[in-house]
Amino acid sequence: MNDKHSIREQIKKTLSRLSKPLYEDYSYKIACRLYEEHAWKQADVIGITVSKCPEVDTYQIIRKAWETGKTVVVPKCKPKEKRLSFRTLTEFSQLESVYFGLYEPLVELTTEVRQEQIDLLIVPGLAYTRKGYRIGFGGGYYDRYLTSFSGETLSLVFNEQIISDFPLEEYDLPVSKIITPTEVLKTI
């Protein structure tokens, strides 16, 4: 079976076996490669998710962005419409735990930013092809958001998340680059 559902389950299982030392090692190597990217260096406003293990760690990336004077914006899901909005994050205490142990920005403490203000969007996902097509967590949130997004996109990916193929649907949109611990793949 290679449908999206079974690929999601398979990748989750594989990632759950990743040891803490390797998780930290790979996440650090991916982060270091990201900081070398032109898109990162140029970006003033970075859209990024707050990672939930075993996704590539983004806490260190958010700290680095703050330390280098960048504005960090993180997504808040609107489950009814399956849409995302991005809000500024200046400290981790502005997060609250919502469903499935995900952290989202507190509306009282953060401000929404418009899509056009985001220079670089770091797109989360579970599985990726080398052409940048992704399988997300099943809500299609980023597929919807990307339809009108014109900034740079990239994804941070463990090699264990790279798959050869999956049944693409017309709304599945690729990211421009994939960063793994061992390489940077330009996809489009």
Ligand X SMILES: Nc1ncnc2c1ncn2[C@@H]1O[C@H](COP(=O)(O)OP(=O)(O)O)[C@@H](O)[C@H]1O
Collect all residues with Cβ–Cβ distance below 8 Å to 32 and sequence separation of at least 6: none
Q: Report yes or no: 59 and 122 within 8 Å, Cβ to Cβ.
A: no
Tell me the pairing of strands 83-89 and 112-113: antiparallel
Residue among 96 and 172 whose Cβ is closer to Mg ion: 172
167 binds, among Mg ion, ligand X, none (CB under 5 to 8 A by kind): none
138 binds, among Mg ion, ligand X, none (CB under 5 to 8 A by kind): ligand X
**C-beta of 38: minimal distance to ligand X in Å?**
27
Q: Does 149 interact with ligand X (rule: CB under 6 A)? A: no
Select the residue interacting with ligand X from 139, 167, 168, 183 (CB under 6 A). 139
Binding positions for Mg ion, rule: CB under 5 A: 143, 172
Cβ-closest position to ligand X = 140
Residue among 122 and 135 whose Cβ is closer to ligand X: 135
C-alpha–C-alpha distance, residues 119 and 40, integer Å: 9
Q: Does 66 interact with ligand X (rule: CB under 6 A)? A: no
Residues pairing with 89 in the sheet:
72
C-alpha–C-alpha distance, residues 171 and 15, integer Å: 26
How many residues can be counted in the chain?
Answer: 188
